[in-house]
Structure 1
Amino acid sequence: MSTAARRGQDAAYGLLGAPLAMAALPLFVQIPAYYASHVGLALAPLGWVLFGARLLDMLQDPVFGHLLDRSAQRQKRWMAMAGAVLAVAFVCLWKPPHDPQAAMLWLVAMLVLAYGAHSMLSIAYLSWASRLPEKGLRAVAWREAAGLAGVIVASVIPAAILAAEASQIDARITFYCAGFAALLGLALLVLLRQNPPPPQADGHHWKSALRGLWETPAFRTLLPPYLLNALSAAIAATLALFFIEDQLQQGRLAGLFLAAYFGAAALGLPLWGALSRRVGAVACWRYAMLLSVAGFIGAALLGPGDRLAFLAVCLATGAALGADLLLPPVLLARSVRQAQAVGVAFGILTMLGKLALALSGIALPLLAALDYRPGQGPSVSLPLVYALLPCLLKLLAWQVLGRYGRRFPDSGQA
């Protein structure tokens, strides 16, 4: 295959990352606020609905992965069906009934459909890259860059729509949903037409697939540092707005800081890809962890008005995020040799990422126990939990990779 053709294949693969990211952020951030503020649902039952839906979302990932492994020859069909369900459920989430009780039932049904379709499509999409040349390193870079672009779009446009006058929200949401559905359909069409289908795999019992994965040292080694690193990022993400508003007292610049963070991650993707080809994926990931630690140590020293210094922190930690997005899926793809276990492996990885999101909630009661109260200005405890706790988790992940990283193929050490 020529270089131009391979780049076209990689770009065709990566495009789907944008609509998947555009759906993920509203599902976890804007939809709850929309149902509380605009639909009128009570916070307590809304919280339990979200908790139950996210718990189901986490637990179903390995099941979907195994289903995809057992029917790899039909993976394109599964992806097309999941894409259609996701598009419909996403639109329906923004169009609930006016009655609050009916809206609650509507929310439950649409969240189950949307989470399930998004998970099925994401796992199939992640495992697809493992069958591309070089285990999809360049394709993964395209995917994560498109995903970061989708995150930026989803963080700006829905927030602006919901901040508009109430009479304008419905029409603008309809337009946004139509754009999302069109982009999702286009990206799926490009992917399924231009990329080769995944190879067929013989159906195996899920216990056999799990046993084979557990007997793979590199797979076992990846899980602890991946969870620790994901938890570090999730805690920082959970507390970022608290830190910006109270510790820095720069709430009006929150959008700029987030854009700098995700923009740095997108720009860093090709640099991490090039470095990983020179020093190895493990060594490259460890370098990125150290960069993130340096950034968060700097954040722990900041106070009111330190906006330029925090912008530098966002650029450093955002650049490190690029490696977090790029390298773990590549390491996983290179580690799993059994074709019938690829989907299960990626299902477990995505489940750990969602577990990290759930566990990051411990940051809020921890801050409360340390006498932090939102809206009361700078706090001694906020930098400890926002910056230093993620540093500790990053360093633990760095240490595990340093100790056991040679179990990975292409494991260069930092």
Structure 2
Amino acid sequence: MARIVRDTTVIVSTGPTCMLRNPPLALYIHIPWCVRKCPYCDFNSHAGDGALPEEAYVAALLADLEQDLPLAVGRSLSTLFIGGGTPSLFSAEAIARLLEGIAERIDIADDVEITLEANPGTVDESRFIGFRRAGVNRLSIGIQSFNDAHLARLGRIHDAAAAVRAAQAARSAGFDNFNLDLMFGLPGQGVAEALADVQTAIGLSPSHISFYQLTLEPNTWFHRHPPALPEDEVIWEAQRACQAMLAEHGYAQYEVSAYALDGRRCRHNLNYWRFGDYLGIGAGAHGKITDAERGTIARRWKQRHPKRYLETAGTPECIGEHMVIAPGELPLEFLMNHLRLREGFRLADFSLSTGLAADVLDPGIQACGEAGLLHAADGHIRCTDKGWNFLDNVLEHFMSEHS
């Protein structure tokens, strides 16, 4: 079993039987403030009350990164993702100082993808121009819907017109690589309204669309006060119709909720789904790091509350947990990411990514194959259409008795 510690001690676990490799490395940066907490949001976000502590928070992020650097000696960053919260509340100058400070501390690939999340209610073309000059080369804009009534029910601070303006401003500012977030299964939403949202998004020519179902997550306002959602049959019909429209316009579904034009898949998220490594800095940020030499894979996360994070960043007290993943839990950890992808995975990559012999998967693969949930051929495993729609049922076959 893995042990949990509250410092940076490296713990060696036992169990891997194959050579373990260090995968690509990414950096996630969490900015926790937003204008108003949405009723469906279960992220670590906090409504700001006045001026944000930009200078202090950037300094804290860089101190946090410095403390994590021993985990990534000799490695370079392939992608960066600035999420939240609402990172677009920070000024372009603060983002520039942050990215410059990161580049001074760790090697960054020449073709790095740097994404910043933005809320339509907090941006305009000049702000986007500033972010681009700071080094951001990809945006992810949280639209959710282009219907004013649905936006109001979701507690969004923008209306449909602001959502359209934000996408247009992103392109005018020089961003040819940006994502639009859309939800379906919204309270009171019919199939025609879901299709109208997708049609409007396509008309704005994003390179990527995230299209996912509203779920009522624990510890949210909607979970405590559930709205009336559409019937399952309506949600399913809307999903299938919207997926067909996206495919018709060249947006290929490569992950459960991700659709991209050719060559525009989100590299940062692909790294997550391919069980890659990532450092996580910021309040509540999570990271995953492989140490091939020691044969361990560990997860760690930081203090969640912004005040506590600012007080402790760069010290051992900032680390909420540091946990080495037990070998018996690695198959599920690997599969719950990889099987979200249409491409699936190669058995050889499973061994290189976990240090485990691929035959530990044999019972689950056989059972899922017989149930029509997985397709296996020439050492390559992927979900069937049935398996993709019932992914939880697939993963149940790979849970250890300790999961």
TM over 0.5: no
Structure scoring higher RCO (CA < 8 A, sep ≥ 6) equals 1
Query: Between Structure 1 and Structure 2, which shows a larger proportion of helix residues?
Result: 1
The TM-score range, normalised by the shorter chain, is under 0.3
TM-score (norm 1): 0.21
TM-score (norm 2): 0.21
Query: Between Structure 1 and Structure 2, which shows a larger proportion of strand residues?
Result: 2
